[in-house]
Structure 1
């Protein structure tokens, strides 16, 4: 017999901070001991059930699934599912126990009694349990009390580590935990159990013999059913809508008759959808997209391979005509490799929740759920937690962890590569801390919510998997996304995209300022002014195009179409970047050499370079006579380097090509060529769709510049560097930027008559409540801003204090009263004395007036200091400009004028950020961001230099720096040679 035997009441780390037992460790332990079966029972939750089942099965260990319920009285009920029906029952019970309504013991017992029957074992230390739970197979275990001694760690030498977890859970230190936690909850030896409780193994073997359950055995799909009008079958309704959509699109939009090209494509797609049973899926997506559009919520033009579907286009799920852009349906739904459809939809991010609420209301509270995620503890978090309970000084903790930029999950790697941490790990007083840290790494700390995934089921989700109460009253799965499809649940991704919110805000501003209702579908996609600003490199704020490297590529490519934008975003990635020079060279000289002239129609649109996955598929079809479905399978295999399959299919391709009048040499050359680029190719449908978002933003920037920047600025509130950059840029367009003023009372940027008004809330320490107060006062007193006297009279006891007064004065928010910033700052005490003297029972005209302020001169230096203090950046007077003039001897070059491969030039600027990392030799080096009055640049400080400079480099200080420039990924960066001098 093994040293151990399978026991029931084993807790895992999925009962957060109540166990040290990770599922991998549990199964490794069982495998080592030769267990044929293994129990898994969390307390009330079932978070780790699917993971446990998969991993145990893979190791040929029979997984036995249960649920333990610890009552308030301290008694325990453990339910073990014998079969699928019993499993559904415990899923239901766990779901109810994790609802927003907390059940007391009596309610919990009634819940169990109402659901549990002969499909479950019930093991409990409750008295008279057989009489109470008369439908379940109750195992009387009074003589096997050990079943209710919860196991929380495997080895008894882990008790001290568990005390650490106990301390974390209860917010106490390790000494207090040692006093409170005395019991042993390690995995007990078999001899010890059987000596005292000889029937233990007999009971567990009995349970094992009666359990026949595979939680993944049922392949039934639980897709919600779409309710079509007049009880029409879903597919019939889908076909009807698509035909009507096709007729409208071709005859009304394109002004042409319905052609066989479109009709044949539609019939092909519908045939696949009918065969696979996905009609309901398409109709449900169409329905919630329609809801969004009817409610003025901006929806993206398409995302992923769904944009290659004509059905998606005709249902207005996407807005890209796949035939116009030569997009392939098989890239989305492959009839030769049936997988679930995956239609991801982007919504403006500030209204995405409304769409989810709509689904919740339409399909029912137990049929819609978000998807759980688990926030895993990394080294940095684990170490800081361990130090906290061992009461290590926080300054020392910060010192030890300051070099860690990421929360690593590999403990051994950290110890090997981080010198300071390794040194502390060798100190005796830190031994327990590092041991606990290692145990905590990889444990889930708490649940989160998947950013996009939504489940919509045709049945009560509680009968399919355990769920829990989520945010806003919407339920959440207890299994993460990796296990949902296998139990028949289809994930739909509803994503929030900030750029769509920006577009909506721009359109609202245009409507407000110009009384124009614009439609994205009516925007001219061949607008010369739009492409001109892109070719000029004016890409700030343009989706996917605003990085320096992308900007340079856009300029070099001389973009003049949506296709050009799509190609740029597809090429500007690791791997395909090596093809950029060839692409630009071929495009600009309009001369292309092809591996074979027969490929001209496929390759000439991208100047002889394979840019897209769809091109690989088309070449496989044309040369090797593969169906597009098979071509997609081969493309995937090439990308994943499935060598065995590739060798087999290569012979087939060459033989087919020979039969298709290609020589063996040519066929082999074509195969080798496409194999090289298949792993680089990008999804064209996604690239085209996302290029529309970038183009729309560029169009707005070209035609409604003030509104464009207003929305852009609202989107970066709190981001000082981007705010500063955008404000600087907008002035170059001749648009006046008005500093925050109490008179405008705005908490967001607003625009009017080619001006942008900065919000009061941009001032550090001024909150939205203050602007709300101003608006309320103005509604009560229209003369609020008539003069200084009236303003401060009405503002008495209305949220204005000496602290926020100073901020408002330095920001120029009182300039509207005719006095400059310095004057308003200098007269603060006088103004507050006058406000104190105001008598609210006497009319304003009889009060002592605030007048004859002592006036101060405002100089440029004071102005810039005020701006930096209250905004965090400079608006009017950038002192770096002055520093450049004062240090002209050093011949500083404006950052914006730097080009690649300049040898030892000087720049003058301020350090805005320092990021320390390890180089390949595990030595410290850094990336330093420096800005001047024109632009910013990232500088590399190599380890050989960093040792000497690290203590002299300080954020928010000005320097003269000697650098060498370089071009990295089409972006100008630099290498810091030395600090000439701090200034």
Structure 2
């Protein structure tokens, strides 16, 4: 198919010339003009005797009284200013629409965020309870949000708990009409590898060749096929000389970047005064909410109102923590009125104990917090703003200034009131605006335009704005040299400055979570674990932290567990939904059946549950996760009884009480490790115990520290008994093999590295699931602790240890000053790690010294032979 020319069309339809003329006539009558940049804001329904401006003012004045009781002059003046700007720009309906759905959220106990973006700088937003940040208390600027000298639609983004976002979209759809509200389409485009794969498949390349073709494209974010061809010699060799490969590559380059599939914008919702079908193509979505067929940029060009309803996981987390607190203590937490000088909260932040704390939990951020030792809310706002590429380089200066290790200097004394809270560093965009207003006499609207202009780094604009700024400073009595230096300072930080309104709002969420973690730790960890359901890696991390904080995590229980993690006494009960192979439908059926009556045993469980949920795979997951421990039967015997239980349930469903109930199979128990591995299969990790648990006694006797103890001593040779969870082998630039491994003990996890010289000797010991004695040194690298491995030694079985735990190896040396000989002996002791203690007898000094238990050895023939070769046959004796 192709679009035929007019000549071809005339030839094809020459027998109906009238149709050709009529087609042209109809085409000439078709005229479509699409108006752009004309706002199509919905009208908010207001009382008959009021305009939208009047109604907004009345609602704001009521909110002002509610927020402040008796408002001060500064509040009244600021409110009047903002309302006048909003009215003059025609945005009163916008604010009323947002106020209305936020009112619905509050009335229906849907937690909303304290604010997001520059909207937190608006007093109107604050008194309407759209935001919870007082812009006057925190020195936030309205003009950063809505600038009468730069007319654009206001942009209020709202955070809701992620599980309740759909409820809010449903509300606006029901209020304004199904055809006036829609979610927004997004287009996924063909990236380099996807373009190759799709075209190669269409062109008939074998799957193996498609895989090779795709893998030859370097795995770099945003790489194009053109760049890949220039960068990869292997790719060029694969393409050149093969006509089919060349053809695939050429076509793939042409389709690269084109839309491949549609999805729905994560936050955007469009609202319109008229039915959307009059201005935009729409299609059916889910929950009876339509989806536009135009992306966000095109919709804004059409003047349609876009609002961002963002589903924030951390608000769901806050909601759940509060519910747990109420259930356990009866205390009702008001997030709006938390004390912002809570000592326990700042101690937690100063320790970097920020797992699960919004914006503050990365490794690098933890290190910054440990150095900063924040003691006021402003510290959190600043560090959230600075911890980004670019301004990050100012963090050491900020910390040193805070702790009085660096003198704070200002280019001019009048900068002090503006920069004092950030110790002389420009951190926020609003500070640039305040400098321009204070020194150059700019209105805040003009100052916002200056901020935007200088951030673009256009030389002509920079020079033009410099003249404007310096002239303003001169008119206000400042000297030219100071004005030039201050402008240079603004230019330097214009790209780095962060939106303070946004920083304050999001730091408030971080503080709220930190406060709850510090003061309600059990409730916090329970909610945090529930938030991670479906993410095994996160659950493992959070369970480790829970245990470190002294709380037990109980296995899932058939009689007591629910969908989520729950508080049980002073412990946390595991979630049924977090058992592998157990889905929502199975858990729902189980809980509904349990409501009627508790389950008495395995056989009754199989009989009462719907048969589609009682499969051998499901039952094995329940058994080995510990869910059936309530029956008082060992997991091994429960497992061996599954087949009989299923047969009994199938018969009893047909024949009823005529079928005698089966009995549990009794048999030999699986070993400790076998049962633990089965538990790991069911949960994804070890919960009830840990493979290294059987070596706790050994570690104590050999004075081997736990990982937590070892981590306290950097730059010191240490040993630990660990379980290897992952191994990744790479090649260096010199093509030598080295390895990165992860290992853990019962409570902690650590990353480690084996450099090439170590890898050569110990590569055969690198097995996932192996329990080893690791030897090496801990160092801080890239803000994380890392174990530099010197050696890995498999542990003997415990029964062998029991036999040899009292063994002693005596080594005789002529003198304690034979350092070279002693070093050779010590090296052998490291190479043959084990359980027998080692004693050195120094003949000249008539002295016997027992070496540290960390130097205990396995007295194998090979080990003893190596020692005798150094010190002599008669100078090594073993006593068992």
The TM-score by the shorter chain falls in which range? 0.7 to 0.9
Deviation, structure 1 residue 496: 0.8
The verdict on how the C-alpha distance between 1:750 and 1:126 changes in structure 2, with shifts beyond 3 A counting, is farther
SS at match of 1:864: helix
Contact 2:778 2:788 in 1 (8 A): yes
Deviates more, 1:514-523 or 1:622-631: 514-523
The verdict on how the C-alpha distance between 1:807 and 1:459 changes in structure 2, with shifts beyond 3 A counting, is closer
Deviates more, 1:260-269 or 1:758-767: 758-767
Q: Distance in 1 between matches of 2:513 and 2:551?
A: 18
Structure 2 residue 299 is the aligned partner of structure 1 residue 484: yes
The verdict on how the C-alpha distance between 1:452 and 1:894 changes in structure 2, with shifts beyond 3 A counting, is same
SS at match of 1:223: coil
Contact 1:634 1:646 in 2 (8 A): no
Contact 2:559 2:594 in 1 (8 A): no
Q: Distance in 1 between matches of 2:258 and 2:737?
A: 31
The verdict on how the C-alpha distance between 1:903 and 1:645 changes in structure 2, with shifts beyond 3 A counting, is farther
The aligned counterpart of 2:677 is 865
Spell out the pairing of 1:800-949 with structure 2 (5 A cutoff): 800-829=614-643, 831-832=645-646, 838=652, 841=655, 843=657, 847-848=660-661, 850=663, 853-854=665-666, 856-857=668-669, 859-879=671-691, 894=707, 898=711, 902=715, 910=724, 912=726, 930-933=742-745, 934-936=747-749
The aligned counterpart of 1:508 is 323
Contact 1:961 1:980 in 2 (8 A): yes
Q: Distance in 2 between matches of 1:922 and 1:604?
A: 52
Structure 2 residue 537 is the aligned partner of structure 1 residue 741: no
Structure 2 residue 67 is the aligned partner of structure 1 residue 249: yes
Structure 2 residue 565 is the aligned partner of structure 1 residue 770: no
The aligned counterpart of 1:18 is none
Deviation, structure 1 residue 731: 2.2
Spell out the pairing of 1:667-678 with structure 2 (5 A cutoff): 667-678=483-494
Give deviations 1:690-715, integer Å, cap 9, x for gaps.
11111221222223322222221121
Contact 1:378 1:407 in 2 (8 A): no
Q: TM-score, normalised by structure 2?
A: 0.80
Any unmatched runs of 5+ in structure 1? 1-6, 11-37, 39-75, 77-123, 142-205, 252-256
Give deviations 1:470-521, integer Å, cap 9, x for gaps.
3333233322122222222222111111111111122233333444443322
The aligned counterpart of 1:644 is 460
The aligned counterpart of 1:700 is 516
SS at match of 1:710: helix
Deviation, structure 1 residue 544: 0.7
The aligned counterpart of 1:225 is 43
Q: How many residues align?
A: 785
Q: Distance in 1 between matches of 2:478 and 2:629?
A: 80
The verdict on how the C-alpha distance between 1:837 and 1:288 changes in structure 2, with shifts beyond 3 A counting, is closer
Contact 1:289 1:317 in 2 (8 A): yes
Q: Distance in 2 between matches of 1:331 and 1:946?
A: 57
The verdict on how the C-alpha distance between 1:628 and 1:947 changes in structure 2, with shifts beyond 3 A counting, is farther
Equivalent position to 1:551, from 366, 376, 398: 366
Q: Distance in 1 between matches of 2:737 and 2:84?
A: 59
Q: Distance in 2 between matches of 1:958 and 1:396?
A: 40
The aligned counterpart of 2:24 is 139
Equivalent position to 1:307, from 120, 123, 135: 120
Q: Distance in 1 between matches of 2:259 and 2:547?
A: 49
Contact 1:895 1:931 in 2 (8 A): no
Structure 2 residue 145 is the aligned partner of structure 1 residue 327: no
Equivalent position to 1:337, from 137, 147, 150: 150
Spell out the pairing of 1:442-841 with structure 2 (5 A cutoff): 442-589=257-404, 592-744=408-560, 746-780=562-596, 782=597, 784-787=598-601, 790-791=604-605, 794=608, 797=611, 799-829=613-643, 831-832=645-646, 838=652, 841=655
Q: Distance in 2 between matches of 1:622 and 1:948?
A: 68
Q: Distance in 2 between matches of 1:137 and 1:487?
A: 33
Contact 1:379 1:407 in 2 (8 A): no
SS at match of 1:807: helix
Deviation, structure 1 residue 957: 7.0
The aligned counterpart of 1:270 is 83
Contact 1:811 1:821 in 2 (8 A): no
The aligned counterpart of 2:803 is none
Spell out the pairing of 1:120-131 with structure 2 (5 A cutoff): none
Q: Distance in 1 between matches of 2:206 and 2:793?
A: 36
Give deviations 1:874-910, integer Å, cap 9, x for gaps.
2233335668998999989837855899599888563
Give deviations 1:395-421, integer Å, cap 9, x for gaps.
454455457546756111122334443
Equivalent position to 2:251, from 436, 439, 448: 436
Deviates more, 1:563-572 or 1:461-470: 461-470
Contact 2:179 2:275 in 1 (8 A): yes
The verdict on how the C-alpha distance between 1:435 and 1:815 changes in structure 2, with shifts beyond 3 A counting, is same
Contact 2:589 2:609 in 1 (8 A): no
Q: Distance in 2 between matches of 1:964 and 1:416?
A: 41
Deviation, structure 1 residue 281: 0.8
SS at match of 2:308: strand
The verdict on how the C-alpha distance between 1:823 and 1:302 changes in structure 2, with shifts beyond 3 A counting, is same
SS at match of 1:471: coil
Contact 2:758 2:791 in 1 (8 A): no
The verdict on how the C-alpha distance between 1:899 and 1:485 changes in structure 2, with shifts beyond 3 A counting, is farther
SS at match of 2:273: coil
Any unmatched runs of 5+ in structure 2? 796-880
